[in-house]
Structure 1
Amino acid sequence: MKALDTVLKTACTTAALIGAIGAINVLAMQPAHAADASNGKVLTEAHNCAACHGPNLNKPVSAEYPKLAGQHADYLYWALRQYQMGSGNPHFGRNNAIMAAQVQSLSQSDLKDISAYIESLDGDLVVKK
């Protein structure tokens, strides 16, 4: 009887592992969100990013605000995510009340769209070599 219990337990454990691996494979095969720059443009206009970062997000109204146009999308995405995490996560967050308020209602897909749009803009950024 003990041998049968051991076999059943092993079979159940194996079936559970196969099911978990199958679920992971299904999730891994889901397409990644392709950033939509046109939606990013709508979002930047709706959130009035130009109020601080200037026309075309390239001429900030104050020297303390960065030029964004042409910046790498992956950098922008993580900067925006850090503003979302804010001071609640001091290891990863950026602490700026204005930016934190601007991005709190945005999804990660929205942030990717905004980042793709800003990257597509012509800007005056200089990359030193």
Structure 2
Amino acid sequence: MKFALITAIFLSSIGLAQAASADKGQALVEKANCASCHGAGLNAPILPAYPKLAGQYADYVYYALRAYKVGNTNAQFGRNNAVMSSQVQTFSDADMHDIAAYIATLPGNFVVKK
């Protein structure tokens, strides 16, 4: 019984994760003008303090956006950045998934050193 329940939850979560739309995410990124700080293709930040986003894992981007939205209300999960906190307040959970899906499709130049 437990196995069937866990399997059903797992399979339903896969379907939800695939429901994110990179096209909708692109429109949201353009509307929010994310490139004004994160640079062209979200891969050339205007200041070294701003991260490169292109090519980042979708789940990482989603949880980072959620943490900015939570802000100071949860010290263990929230992220405190005035600019990002104000940017994400208007985004729904689905919007953040769409944005993350779009960012994951962008070609990035992250290097993994061994």
TM bin (shorter chain): 0.7 to 0.9
- Cα distance in 2 for residues equivalent to 1:55 and 1:29: 36
Under a length normalisation based on structure 2, what TM-score does the superposition of the two structures give? Answer: 0.84
1:123 aligns with 2:108: yes
1:73 aligns with 2:85: no
User: 1:55-85 CA distances to partner (integer Å, 9 max, x unpaired)?
Assistant: 0000000000000000000000000000000
- Cα distance in 2 for residues equivalent to 1:87 and 1:126: 32
Structure 1 portions without partners, runs of 5+: 1-24
Structure 2 portions without partners, runs of 5+: 1-7
Cα drift, residue 125 of structure 1: 1.2
Letter in 2 for 1:45: E
- Cα distance in 2 for residues equivalent to 1:72 and 1:111: 13
**Change in 2 beyond 3 A, CA 1:35/1:61:** same
User: Which structure's CA Rg is the greater one?
Assistant: 1
Matches within 5 A, 1:1-129: 32=16, 34-129=19-114
Cα drift, residue 128 of structure 1: 3.1
Identity among equivalent pairs (%)? 53
Under a length normalisation based on structure 1, what TM-score does the superposition of the two structures give? Answer: 0.75
Residue-pair matches, total: 103
Q: Secondary structure at the match of 2:54?
A: coil
